Structure 1
Amino acid sequence: MKFDCDDSAYEFYKDYAHQIGFSVQKHSVKRGNVGQIIRRTFSCSKEGERVFDKRRENASYRHPISRTGCLAQMTCHLQKDGMLHVVSFHDQHNHKFAHSPMKHMLRSKRKISLAQKAIANDAERSGISIKQTIELLSMQAGGHENLGFMDVDYKNHVHNERRMALRKGDGPAMMEYFHKMQLNAAKNLHHVFHSFKQFAKDFSDCLYEYEDEDEWLVSWDCMLKEYGLTDNKWLRSIFDVKEKWAIVYGRHMFTTNMKSTQRSESINNVLKKYLKPKHDFVRFSGHYSRVLVDKRR
């Protein structure tokens, strides 16, 4: 038997191991002068034995023994035809195999597919809990045993994605978040922003600086006339729902600058659906944006 690359050989051995009921690992490798793989050995995951650790001699808890000195393995060697040929194959194990209902738990075959990762990332941005997302994926796959991964694998993926998002730090993430909020206005009013340096300040003042509604209305009207925007469709559309975004309409109450058309609904109940105390700023800002979008509909 021969393979065109190391990955193909590994996938074959993993598939074979999964059918039998054991997990595998990459055991050893020998490379050539330019880094090409000349010899590769894959082995049963129970190969070798646990090294005795004196520091844990009196430990109250000991991890179950996972290595039994199993000698089962497959070795491939690079031949003149450029293919990796199987030169050694040992199929004798010294341990029991996993039964069919438990085979999905074998580590070497557990993997979250690209499609599952896409769903996971969408669920994370939508505020769906890890448990609920796993249940959804499980239903789509026809059961947990068909998922291809375990709950811990999914949790590790989500936590890794969160760490990646935080590598830039909360400060830069905050600036990026507010920058995105301004893009919509910049897109619809780019010609004004480029033509008038003062417009950015005047527009910002209309959003945040006024305490009195009448004064705000006068200022808004003056800004439209000053910059020739009385017929701008986007400004007209947002003016029609000004009570939902203009700060002046919420000065008399504390709502974190969020407006709601459902006055009888508890703001705490709304926020609890999206926000949690353990959220870092990146996740908080993403979910808070969803709150604003939902309340402006």
Structure 2
Amino acid sequence: MSFESFEDAFLFYKKYAGCVGFPIKKNRKRGTTGKDFCCLLEGKHNTKVKDGDRKTSKTSKRDGCKAMVCAREARGGGRVFFTRIAFEHNHKLNPTPSMTKRMRAHKVEDPSVMNLIDTMHASQVPHPNVMRVLRSVAGGVENLHLTERDVQNR
């Protein structure tokens, strides 16, 4: 397969990841002609230890997952294609749409919904009422791509 741009390649991999059930990220650039997209649980967390004590008590999601794709631009510019693909995950996948749509990488921020939320917040509408309106507009909580925390943080 080939794509028009790196963004198209990323959107394709994002859609695949949503169907399979894992979060993704743009990992690193490889020069000017390549980018890597990988599972969010890729790599290992480097714990900073000072005098035998952990510096922070924060845990990490990173688990050493190897799933990733390398996207490269063809010589002379133009099309983008995947040069290396690794499918192996070392963690549980969540293929249910109700779980994947709540993953940060798969959340869809609709500008019209965000405008509605901003307008209701500016009008000092209480948070439970904002959520009630959003659920009714989306046709139920199962169709809503935002969590209550997302709306509070907005």
TM-score by length of 1: 0.47
Q: Deviations over 1:22-75 (max 9, x none)?
A: 00000111343xxxxx1011000000011112259368x944541110010011
Is 1:77 matched up with 2:87? no
**Paired-residue identity, %:** 24
Counterpart of 2:93 in structure 1 is 97
The structure with the largest alpha-carbon Rg is 1
Alpha-carbon distance, 1:110 to partner: 1.2
Is 1:129 matched up with 2:126? yes
Instruction: State the superposition RMSD in angstroms.
Output: 2.2
Q: Equivalents in 2 of 1:54, 1:65: separation in Å? A: 15
Match of 1:88 among 84, 90, 97: 84
Change (3 A) 1:143 1:64: farther
Change (3 A) 1:149 1:123: same
Counterpart of 1:10 in structure 2 is 10
Map residues 1-297 of structure 1 onto 2, 5 A cutoff: 1-32=1-32, 38-54=33-49, 57=53, 62-79=57-74, 80=76, 82-100=78-96, 101-157=98-154
- Does the aligned pair in 1 maintain the 2:19–2:95 contact within 8 Å? no
Q: Equivalents in 1 of 2:94, 2:58: separation in Å? A: 19
TM-score by length of 2: 0.85
Counterpart of 1:177 in structure 2 is none
Larger relative contact order (CA 8 Å, sep ≥ 6): 2
Q: Equivalents in 2 of 1:4, 1:138: separation in Å? A: 36
Change (3 A) 1:138 1:46: same
Structure 1 unmatched ranges of 5 or more:
33-37, 158-297
Change (3 A) 1:142 1:67: same
Alpha-carbon distance, 1:106 to partner: 1.2
Alpha-carbon distance, 1:125 to partner: 2.3
Q: Equivalents in 2 of 1:143, 1:42: separation in Å? A: 33
Q: Which runs of 4+ in 1 moved over 6 A?
A: none
Structure that is richer in strand per residue: 2
Q: Deviations over 1:131-162 (max 9, x none)?
A: 321231122213333222222222232xxxxx
- Does the aligned pair in 2 maintain the 1:112–1:154 contact within 8 Å? no
Q: Equivalents in 2 of 1:108, 1:95: separation in Å? A: 17
Counterpart of 1:87 in 2: which secondary structure?
strand
Structure that is richer in helix per residue: 1
Number of corresponding residues = 151
Task: State the AA in 2 paired with 1:69.
Answer: G
Change (3 A) 1:99 1:16: closer
- Does the aligned pair in 2 maintain the 1:104–1:146 contact within 8 Å? no
Change (3 A) 1:67 1:82: same
- Does the aligned pair in 2 maintain the 1:24–1:44 contact within 8 Å? yes
